[in-house]
Amino acid sequence: MSVRTEVTGAKRVVVKVGSSSLTTAAGGIDPGRVRELVDVLAKLRTGGAEVVLVSSGAIAAGLAPLGLKRRPRGLPAQQAAASVGQGLLVHRYTEELARHGVIAGQVLLTVDDVTRRSHYRNAYQTFAKLLELGVLPIVNENDTVATSEIRFGDNDRLAALVAHLVHADLLVLLSDVEGLYDADPEHPDSSLLPEVMSVDDLSDVRIGKSGSAGVGTGGMQTKVDAARIATGAGIPVVLTSADRAGAALAGERVGTLFHPTGRRRPTRLLWLAHATEPKGTLVLDAGAVKAVVERRASLLAAGITGVEGTFHAGEPVDLAAPDGTPVARGIVNFDAEEIPALLGRSSHELKRELGAEYEREVVHRDDLVLL
């Protein structure tokens, strides 16, 4: 059977592996599984591809040293476990990669690193340099400092955003299941979907709960969400089990291939569309809705009739039509409490009365996505 050229032709590949594929049944990192994965990644590298690994498992790796039996519920305990486990995890990878003469680098990311423009550029440059130096970057969320409000929450979504950030040609999601099934694979009648061409192919798929609730956080839903983010940005995705990583990366038709459905967009906008919780709402008049939706214009204070919620400049807010239906999401340039004084007034008036600082758009067109 022919190989998948989306896979064999990829020059830069992001591989994401979940906690369930790295841990033993009793919890804790399974050195044998890390070794098998590293052997596959090293082979991919030798074949000429650049590889970025997004690895979960910090929390799982920290459980045993702390005498914990299962993933703790509270955030501080998870952060402590991640703090203990992340070093151990990367140590394992470093040792295994060294057997192949490959240097490992650790990259811990927070949400800000892909949403704030200056951080984003910085993160991009770091990855570019690491890859140029032949290093294999190992990425995880910076769990120890992430709070519940500011976190990716799951590494599937993080992997999709990293794939976009590094301009990857392919994203491979490795789990403990062979691929995406049309129903929970526990169900005897469920069958594997070898290809997903568009979101329409997902409408009948039933997604059950995570099979590894003890260690992972993602479950199948977050993998499908991640695949949608990546394919919507033009990046094909292969979803399969860690056991089949070698076959999948050789282009064999294992697991599920999600075909690209869209084109590249700035990462901040991907994040805004797929991964944010709005902190408030700006209610627009009909003219402003038209300007934003049809003419893709920036939102000016003159078109705003109301403000809901508490937010600060730089945070995501929804832009709603007069009936309250959200039509777009954007990064706002003012704090919520500053906006009432600006409502319905022209930029010119604002500049004259409040100073040049207040002349700017409330949401710039470059920081807006339509919903």
Ligand X SMILES: Nc1ncnc2c1ncn2[C@@H]1O[C@H](COP(=O)(O)OP(=O)(O)O)[C@@H](O)[C@H]1O
Ligand Y SMILES: N[C@@H](CCC(=O)OP(=O)(O)O)C(=O)O
Minimum Å gap between C-beta 362 and ligand X is 39
> Which of the listed partners (ligand X, ligand Y, none) does 184 bind, with a CB threshold of 5 to 8 Å by partner kind?
ligand X
Residues in 194-253 at the binding interface with ligand X, rule: CB under 6 A:
205, 207-208, 210-212, 216, 218-220
- Of the pair 60, 107, the CB lying nearest ligand Y is at 60
Cβ-count burial 191-228 (b if 16+ within 10 Å, e if not): eebeebeeeebbeeeebeebbbebbbbbbbebbbbbbb
Cβ atoms 168, 52 nearer than 8 A: yes
Minimum Å gap between C-beta 269 and ligand X is 26
Tokens 């990064």 sit on residue = 331
Cβ-count burial 301-315 (b if 16+ within 10 Å, e if not): bbbbeebbeebeeeb
Size of the site for ligand X (CB under 6 A): 22
Q: Residue type at 369? A: V
Q: Is 56 in the site for ligand Y (CB under 6 A)?
A: yes
> Which of the listed partners (ligand Y, ligand X, none) does 281 bind, with a CB threshold of 5 to 8 Å by partner kind?
none
Residues for the chain: how many in total?
371
Q: Which span sits near ligand Y by CB under 6 A: 55-63, 122-130, 327-335, 346-354?
A: 55-63
Size of the site for ligand Y (CB under 6 A): 17
Tokens 């998870």 sit on residue = 78
> Which of the listed partners (ligand X, ligand Y, none) does 142 bind, with a CB threshold of 5 to 8 Å by partner kind?
none
> Which of the listed partners (ligand X, ligand Y, none) does 246 bind, with a CB threshold of 5 to 8 Å by partner kind?
none
Residues in 151-190 at the binding interface with ligand X, rule: CB under 6 A:
175-177, 180-181, 183-185
- Of the pair 215, 299, the CB lying nearest ligand Y is at 215
Cβ atoms 150, 112 nearer than 8 A: yes
The sign one gets for the Cα dihedral 356, 320, 269, 118 is: positive
Residues in 10-39 at the binding interface with ligand Y, rule: CB under 6 A:
18-20
- Of the pair 152, 181, the CB lying nearest ligand X is at 181
Q: Which span sits near ligand Y by CB under 6 A: 215-223, 248-256, 267-275, 325-333?
A: 215-223
- Of the pair 196, 299, the CB lying nearest ligand X is at 196
CA 273 to chain centre: 11
* Cα distance between residue 135 and residue 158, in whole Å: 20
Q: Which of 105, 179, 218, 303 binds ligand Y (CB under 6 A)?
A: 218
Task: Provide the 8-state DSSP code for 343.
Answer: T
Strands of the sheet with 104-109, listed across from one edge: 104-109, 136-141, 50-55, 12-17, 170-175, 237-241, 256-258, 195-196
User: Applying CB under 6 A, which residues contact ligand X?
Assistant: 18-21, 175-177, 180-181, 183-185, 205, 207-208, 210-212, 216, 218-220
User: Applying CB under 6 A, which residues contact ligand Y?
Assistant: 18-20, 56-60, 82, 140-141, 143, 154-155, 216-218
